[in-house]
Amino acid sequence: MNWRRTRAVARKECLHVLRDPRSLMIALALPAILLLLFGYALSLDVDQISTLIYDSDQTPDSRELIARFEGSRYFEVLGTTDNYLTIERSIDRGECLLAVIIPDHFSGDLLHKKPTQIQLLIDGSDSNTASIARGYAEALVAGYSASLLEEEQRQRGGAVWGPPLEAQLRVWYNSELKSKNYIVPGLLAVILMIIAALLTSLTIAREWEMGTMEQLLSTPVRPAELVLGKMSAYFLVGAVDTLTAVLIGVTLFEVPLRGSLLFLAATCFVFLFGTLCWGILLSAISRTQLAAYQLGTVTSFLPAFLLSGFIYSIDNMPLPIQIFTHIVPARYFVHILKGIFLKGIGFEILAVEVAFLLGFAALVFFVATRKLKQKIA
């Protein structure tokens, strides 16, 4: 390993990056754009559920139940109606998600202590949102039912008994249950995967297309020196992107950063080194920039977005897909990021994930250098 030759390749690649200011600006601005788009647009919080009310009873009891829906932050009462046709049309048009139908005998059944029911119509096109909305509505109705029982006991002059078992809930690490607190840290893995793999995947392929690869191969530069030199410029770009993403996440989105900054920086750089090597490996395999770019997209962005646990829970995936995710490095990096940001845990707990990233980086670096040796030969 000759560091002088490595520095020469690095200087050449840095000059190439600086002479293409549009690509450089895209690489530097992409993290901020993705964070703003995903951070604001992508939200898994279910609240302000659009709701229609069909009150056939028109009594103080039914109005009290309606007031509970209006006072809840989870529901947005759009208005009332007096027929099912309006409800059906509103659900078909996507104007409302939930309809609450109170029957005309609602107050009378309550007065005579009869079992009383209300009807909930929910748009099940989005099954996840529909199930959450159903849970909110059932909890609200259950709370109203409990208050009626307490009032009845009070009127009889007896002691008011609470529920036989009451759960005292305490949510750790994300007490407000904000989805952005785990979406934004996971975005860092997706951003680094895109920047690193897609940018470096064009480097060797570009040399072949421009006809300069033969000149480069005629020099004493060794494959390891070529890999390290070419990735150095993009390593600096990735480091700036990492810092930008962390600052935006902590300051703008107010995501808590409870862990060690030093440990965060170390794991980010290990993951960045591995993804840069992966991009160079793809570039060494492909002779054209188009093929390298397509390979980079399929093998970097899509697995990082879909199979890392960034948004979609791995436990809910089919078993073969769960097994396949174990070879996706972004899965381990997302777990590390969420542990550092939200839980404040360190190397003693995340040692397995860090070891996998180190192994991935070393393996891909070795394979990339071997592939370049074959090209040279």
Question: Could you tell me the CA-to-CA distances from 350 to 9, 335, 363, 376 in Å, in that order?
Answer: 35, 8, 20, 39
Per the document, the length of the chain is 377
pTM for the structure as a whole: 0.77
User: Which token pair is 330?
Assistant: 């972004």
Residuewise pLDDT in 10s, the chain (377 residues): 667 777 777 787 777 777 777 767 777 787 888 888 877 777 666 778 899 999 888 888 888 889 999 888 889 998 888 888 999 998 888 888 999 998 888 888 777 777 788 889 998 887 778 888 888 888 888 888 888 777 777 776 655 555 555 667 777 887 777 778 878 888 888 888 877 777 777 666 666 666 666 566 667 777 777 778 877 888 888 888 888 889 988 888 888 889 899 999 999 999 989 988 888 888 777 767 777 777 877 888 788 888 888 877 888 888 899 899 999 999 999 999 989 998 889 899 999 999 999 999 999 999 888 887 665 54
Q: Tell me, rounded to whole angstroms, the distance of Cα 225 from its chain centroid.
A: 36
Q: What is the pLDDT of residue 158?
A: 57
Question: At 5, which amino acid appears?
Answer: R
Given CATH 3.90.1170.50, say whether it is the number of domain 49-155: no
58 φ/ψ sector (left φ>0, alpha ψ -120 to 50, else beta): left
Can you state the angle between helices 180-200 and 223-247, rounded to 10 degrees? 150
Q: What is the pLDDT of residue 202?
A: 67
Q: Residue 348: is it exposed, middle or buried by C-beta count within 10 angstroms (0-12/13-18/19+)?
A: exposed
Q: What angle do CA 38, 324, 264 make, to 5 degrees?
A: 50
Q: What is the pLDDT of residue 270?
A: 93
Q: For tokens 């703003």, what's the residue?
A: 36
User: Which token pair is 298?
Assistant: 């399929």
Domain boundaries, the chain: 28-43+178-376, 49-155
178 φ/ψ sector (left φ>0, alpha ψ -120 to 50, else beta): beta
User: Which token pair is 345?
Assistant: 């845990």
